[in-house]
Chain A
């Protein structure tokens, strides 16, 4: 196996499809072969060698791909990622980690819209902010994220986790409007503030909020008590997720601390809803005041 390093030469000034840049696909190739690979860019295509300086180190145990520099012009980075590690030292474009099934995608900067959309496995860590529809469904599709872990240390845009079905999504900062909209199931944790209409159309699943929102949506009702065992399991699982993610990317440790430090012996306030749909979702609000 090998570590492939792609250093951005200059931003091309147009969008480029980065989905062929998968560690498992490129690990068997030499530096020259990688440089000659083409990346789709609209109706055109451009060679990897024209966009990046390519360096290959064959000493590593596992397949690793590192993109150095700002790659916010590079869309679909880590799309369909199934194994290995892909790291971006700057920002990534839209659709980062789309439909990934395994491996690790680590973005040190920001991610665009649709980060981790429809992902079903693996771990996607965004140390900065991300755009709208993170972990959501593509337009017309019925299911968003169905597995794996997506961690955004900064803020998330609107429609966070739209139509999400399984998996864990943790936001270290604030979330935009319609967070956890139409989620079928799964876990979303938001450390900061949430925008309007959170939990809209929530069928099942858990929306954990570490700051008390301004108002509880009228379609949610009190969720009672007696879920101590679940809360204990839940906080332990969150701590394990945070520890694993922090081990891979120390930059986010501080932002994840509120999730890792939750007290498993003190259950939070719970509300059940959205009653307009199935009504078996839950809002867990840790901050009491």
Chain B
């Protein structure tokens, strides 16, 4: 299968069940909401060593936030409910509670979310103890909030957040002729994905260059470099999947609240990367033979609906 100049491999991305939640952070100005969100989603690229995968979903206009201030929504994914609870408490406690003017709210509406509901994780329920007895709880419209006195006034947060059963590890491998075209394709793909709700790309700038395989020749290492896609190992690794035309491979990892969200993001990514053209020669995906993850995102099925564009009008921003 070919879209413009890009071959779509007959393979699939293998994804896994995760537990996830959405937090809505508001602040006096958009700048401080983003500062808190940047901090909260920092060092959250992979569950392998970060505890969770987190990213900014989108900005929220003041008229759409619970308190009428500028906001930002953040998605956090972890491998278990227990780990998610731990990460929420740590990250909100250190990155949002500390950030001037912020407040934080549950961003998953149990009545409308399409993702299957999981547990309810404490938010203010654990952070309130920072108040040292001066904290006040308030139930407004059936929702319990905590008001914790801090030096700029009050830190307001919801008592708890709803978590859902989500999907993590959707991915695309962009095989390009050279570094510039790989970067251009990946940036276009990430930009296209970020226009969609319910998904994040947790790696720096949304892109990962150190794609990994499970296991290692060294004891104790759970993951190691994906030698099949390393351009310096084309003649050395027996698993190499690259030919002489491929000078650079970049991967985009996608976590989403439902498999449909991840699939839609992958479709958007394929369309943008192939339309960026001129350099992304192949799009593939990472999997483990289909034995480990229950979600299989078949690239050719996802790309089936993409409309081919004339080559001279592709600019990657479509």
Interface residues, chain A, CB within 8 Å of chain B? 166, 185-187, 204, 206, 225-230, 232-234, 236-237, 240-241, 264-265, 280, 282
Contact = CB atoms under 8 A, between A and B. Distances in A.
A237 to B, nearest CB: 4
29 contacts: A185-B137, A187-B138, A187-B140, A204-B136, A204-B137, A206-B138, A226-B152, A226-B153, A227-B153, A227-B154, A228-B153, A229-B26, A229-B67, A229-B69, A229-B153, A229-B154, A229-B156, A230-B138, A230-B154, A232-B67, A232-B68, A232-B69, A233-B66, A233-B140, A234-B138, A234-B140, A241-B141, A265-B68, A280-B136
Contact of B153 (A187, A225, A237, A280): A225
A166 B138 CA distance: 9
Given A186-B139, A229-B69, A230-B138, 18 more contacts: A225-B153, A226-B154, A227-B147, A227-B154, A229-B26, A229-B103, A229-B153, A230-B145, A230-B154, A230-B156, A233-B67, A236-B67, A236-B68, A236-B140, A237-B140, A237-B141, A240-B141, A280-B134
Contacts of B145: 230, 233
Which 3 residue pairs spanning A and B have beta carbons closest together? A226-B153, A237-B140, A232-B67
B287 to A, nearest CB: 46
Contacts of B139: 166, 186
A71 to B, nearest CB: 31
Most buried by B among A166, A229, A237, A241: A229
Interface string B135-161: 011111100010100001110100000
Interface residues of B, number: 19
A289 B109 CA distance: 41
Interface string B8-38: 0000000000000000001000000000000
Interface string B57-99: 0000000001111000000000000000000000000000000
Contacts of B147: 227, 230
A144 to B, nearest CB: 15
Contacts of B156: 229-230, 233
Contacts of A204: 136-137
A228 B26 CA distance: 13
A57 to B, nearest CB: 32
Nearest to B28: A228
Most buried by A among B66, B134, B138: B138
